[in-house]
Amino acid sequence: MNSRQMVLATFIHNSGAHPGGWRYGADADQHDVDHYVRLAKTAERGKLHCYFSGDQQGLPMIKGRDAYAATDYAGKLEPTTLLAALAMVTSDIGLIGTVSTTYNEPYAVARRMASLDHITKGRAGWNVVTSAGNSEARNFGHDRLMDHDLRYERAEEFVDVVKALWDSWEDDAVLRDKASARYFDPARLRQLNHKGRFFNVAGPLNVGRPPQGHPVIVQAGGSGPGRALSARTADLVFTAQSSKDKAVAFYDDMKARAAAFGRNPAHMAVLPSVQLLVRSTEAEARAAQEELLHLIPDALAWATLQMQIGFDLSDYGPDDKMPDIPLTNGGQWVQQELVRMARAEDLTLGQLAKRATVSRASFSMAGTPEQVADMMEDWFRAGAADGFSLSPNYLPGGLEDFVDQVVPILQKRGLFRTEYQGDTLRDNLGIPRPAHAQMGHEPDLWA
């Protein structure tokens, strides 16, 4: 028996992680909450730690009208509302929502995530993203995306303010003592009075301390500033890694960075993202992969590559090799990984386009249940991962296959638990509840 077991999350993105997924699987209505209810219940049946809702605050830019029409980007329900709904039809699984630090205010996010933590009774998580597309910027009054490193500087301050707001109230501040007319103990309410480079926020929050102290923090930046933010603030680190060796290097780097911030590295789980496809036989798995690929129009793959590398390929064709391109202002890790991959494997741009579209820079685990379990075990034992963020190629079928066929194997091998261990997401992750950080300011609300 292992004492250390995998952390498993499922990353739910549109109708599946594979752009051909919506044409491959059963018809799924992304505007219907029942689609997500089914997924969350399936994940909970599989005892997964968390259901993770990706998000963007706008439609991306994808060249070509027909290519665009083939994407399932329409119908992205907003995560905090969606997860609050899912809270009512689940009881154990963690519910993680993506909220951007670039287009929000910390008070509003602190409040919404605290509410979600109360509504879920301690099962909420916040995936902190800095947002990487120009089209999102245009929905929030900007002509173009804020500079990459500036976005992370803003994110650093943002997360600190949010955490401090969650500590506005001490844990036992609410008394509801009718006899003494004290709804709360004013000595246990603190004011932030934050004045920073990006934000001025007085506080206090008007919601009591979240059940988990702080909802679980998730981060997936892969650039230098992205890793620094994760290492300092995140409980879970999601990452796109295209090979086990790279994943080991990333894992070691992140654990060392966490230690350098004075944290216990065991309290920060690193979860590489996995493109998932499970079939009864290897031949069927290969055939399914072929079919899925076939369902993506070439123009869509070509356009998606350009979006992911943040570079206009109008002067190039699918038989060309990757040119030298400048560092993008968007997502830097994915861009650099794709460039490295093209060079290392001597891919044409056409080949890279298919690869990028299918899996971005993450690893694809396709095969029989045993094979998928083997790959997961291999990464886990090799120190490449504390667990995985599973991206089923199509939904809901791809998640159901994993839960029904792979989870039992992992459980049998002692690699994955058979029951939820605690009441909150932190309990289930084995990550401690943060102590309340006492701030100096008595509120001036009653002055």
Ligand X SMILES: Cc1cc2nc3c(=O)[nH]c(=O)nc-3n(C[C@H](O)[C@H](O)[C@H](O)COP(=O)(O)O)c2cc1C
Is 275 in a helix, a strand, or coil? strand
Q: Token pair 């993680």 is at which residue?
A: 96
- Least separation in angstroms between residue 437's CB and ligand X is 26
Number of H helices, E strands in the chain: 17, 13
Is 54 a residue that touches ligand X (CB under 6 A)?
yes
DSSP secondary structure string for all residues of 85-133: HHHTT-SSSEEEEEEESSSS-HHHHHHHHHHHHHHTTS-EEEEEE----
Number of residues binding to ligand X, judged by CB under 6 A: 24
Q: Which is nearer to ligand X, 132 or 431 (CB)?
A: 132
**How many other C-beta atoms can be found within 10 angstroms of the C-beta atom of residue 439?**
16
| Annotated binding residue 98 | yes
Cα 428 to chain centroid distance, Å, stands at 18
Interface of this chain with a second copy, residues 377 to 436, rule: CB under 8 A: none
Consult the annotation and say whether 378 binds a ligand: no
Q: How far apart are the first and last CA of the chain?
A: 60
Radius of gyration of the chain (CA): 22
DSSP string, 207-270: SPPPTTSSPEEEE---SHHHHHHHHHH-SEEEE--SSHHHHHHHHHHHHHHHHHTT--GGGSEE
Among 16, 46, 122, 203, binds a second copy (CB under 8 A): 203
Please list every residue from 273 through 312 that binds a second copy, using CB under 8 A: 295, 297
Q: Which is nearer to ligand X, 71 or 389 (CB)?
A: 389
Angle at CA of residue 19, ends 16 and 24, nearest 5°: 70
Residues 196-225 binding ligand X (CB under 6 A) are 220-223
Q: Is 223 among the annotated ligand-binding positions?
A: yes
Q: Hey, which residues between 426 and 445 contact ligand X (CB under 6 A)?
A: none
* Closest separation in Å from C-beta 163 to a second copy: 15
Angstrom distance (rounded) from CA 193 to CA 443: 9
User: Which does residue 240 touch among a second copy, ligand X, none (CB within 5 to 8 A, set by kind)?
Assistant: ligand X
Show contacts with a second copy in window 68-97 (CB under 8 A). Answer: 68-78, 80-82, 84-85, 87-89
What is the nearest approach in angstroms of ligand X to the Cβ of residue 82? 13
Q: Which CB, 297 or 331, lies closer to a second copy? A: 297
148 annotated as belonging to a binding site for a ligand? yes
**Which of 1, 3, 144, 178 contacts a second copy by CB under 8 A?**
178
| Cis amide linkage into residue 326, ω under 30° from 0 | no
**Within 13 Å of residue 50, how many CA atoms lie on the same side as its CB?**
37
User: What is the closest distance, in whole angstroms, from the C-beta atom of residue 66 to a second copy in the complex?
Assistant: 8
55 among annotated binding-site residues? yes
Query: Which of 24, 36, 238, 379 forms a contact with ligand X (CB under 6 A)?
Result: 238
Residues 105-134 that bind a second copy (CB under 8 A): 105, 107-108, 111-112, 114-116, 118-119, 121
Identify any residues that bridge with 174 across adjacent strands, giving them in sequence order. Answer: 184
Tell me the closest approach of the beta carbon of residue 14 to a second copy, in angstroms.
Answer: 9
Tell me how crowded residue 377 is: count the other CB atoms within 10 A of its CB.
16
If the CB atoms of residues 45 and 111 are measured against a second copy, the closer one turns out to be 111
- Alpha-carbon distance of 287 to 370, in angstroms, equals 18
Stretch that binds a second copy, among 53-61, 219-227, 230-238, 273-281 (CB under 8 A): 53-61
Options 10, 42, 53, 57; binder of a second copy; rule CB under 8 A: 57
Q: Shortest distance, CB of residue 65 to ligand X, whole angstroms? A: 24
Closest CA to 224 of 153, 136, 126: 153
11 counts as binding ligand X under rule CB under 6 A: yes
- Contact between residue 29 and residue 401 where contact means Cβ atoms under 8 Å apart: no
Give the footprint of ligand X on this chain (CB under 6 A).
Answer: 11, 54-56, 98, 129-132, 148, 220-223, 226, 238-240, 273, 331-334, 389
Binding residues: 55, 98, 148, 152, 223
